[in-house]
Amino acid sequence: MAFELPDLPYAHDALAAGGMSEETLQFHHDLHHNAYVTNGNNLLAGSGLEDNSLEQVVAAAYNDADKVGLFNNASQHWNHTQFWQMMGPSGRNMPSELAARIGDAFGSAAAFKEQFVAAGVGQFGSGWCWLVKDGDALKITKTPNGVNPLCFGQTALLGCDVWEHAYYIDFRNKRPVYIQNFLDKLVNWENVAERLSAAGG
């Protein structure tokens, strides 16, 4: 089935109070994400994967030398669709069960945030940093370009886009400040908790 650009789950200016401007979302969602959808559809046609779900296309095209372009665009379409859902208007708290689980896995919420920022800062060039459920374990990972947890059979609980287009308008070259702000003011922790619950808790 053809890929479609989803609407943002909030207004373009809804995250401005949390530090992500209307201009960033206009460029990032309306132009960058839309380009992945358009290019992905062009590459999906004739690929033999037209009848697959987006998740199946990503998994099937990963590491297929004949489908590099399709993988890049399909995975980035999936990544951004999750990313919009993982954020929300500021002022949200981490549900207590999620906070307890993160505390068990990383020592404390503060230690989790420190390790998540370090993963994103440590991703040389474009990519993403993630909180994933891998088997029964919670882990922090980083991936280059469009590679995502689907490629490794992991469940994405939280992902942060560390491509420069995600932060250059609002934070210029300050990637660490952007990721810290993402954790402190932009993450929709209820969405993260729902993803963990859907993955069996």
Site residues (CB under 5 A) for Mn ion? 161, 163, 166
CB closer to Mn ion, 105 vs 177 = 177
CB of residue 42 to Mn ion, shortest distance in Å = 19
CB closer to Mn ion, 93 vs 173 = 173
Two structure tokens written together for 159: 């992902």
Q: Read off φ and ψ for residue 140, nearest 5 degrees.
A: -100, 130
Task: Report helix angle 189-198 to 96-106, nearest 10.
Answer: 80
Burial class (CB in 10 A: 0-12, 13-18, 19+), 104: exposed
CB closer to Mn ion, 148 vs 155 = 148
CB of residue 159 to Mn ion, shortest distance in Å = 10
Long-range contacts of 41-50 (CB under 8 A, 24+ apart): 41/2, 41/3, 43/67, 43/69, 43/70, 43/73, 43/74, 44/2, 44/3, 44/70, 44/74, 50/1
CB of residue 200 to Mn ion, shortest distance in Å = 29
* Closest residue to Mn ion in the complex (CB): 161
CB closer to Mn ion, 29 vs 101 = 29
Q: Read off φ and ψ for residue 164, nearest 5 degrees.
A: -60, -30
CB of residue 163 to Mn ion, shortest distance in Å = 5
Two structure tokens written together for 16: 């401005």
**61, 82, 83: which is closest to 72 by C-alpha?**
61
CB of residue 123 to Mn ion, shortest distance in Å = 13
CB closer to Mn ion, 111 vs 165 = 165
CB closer to Mn ion, 114 vs 170 = 170
CB of residue 24 to Mn ion, shortest distance in Å = 10
Asked if residue 161 lies in contact with residue 83, where contact means CB atoms within 8 angstroms, the answer is yes
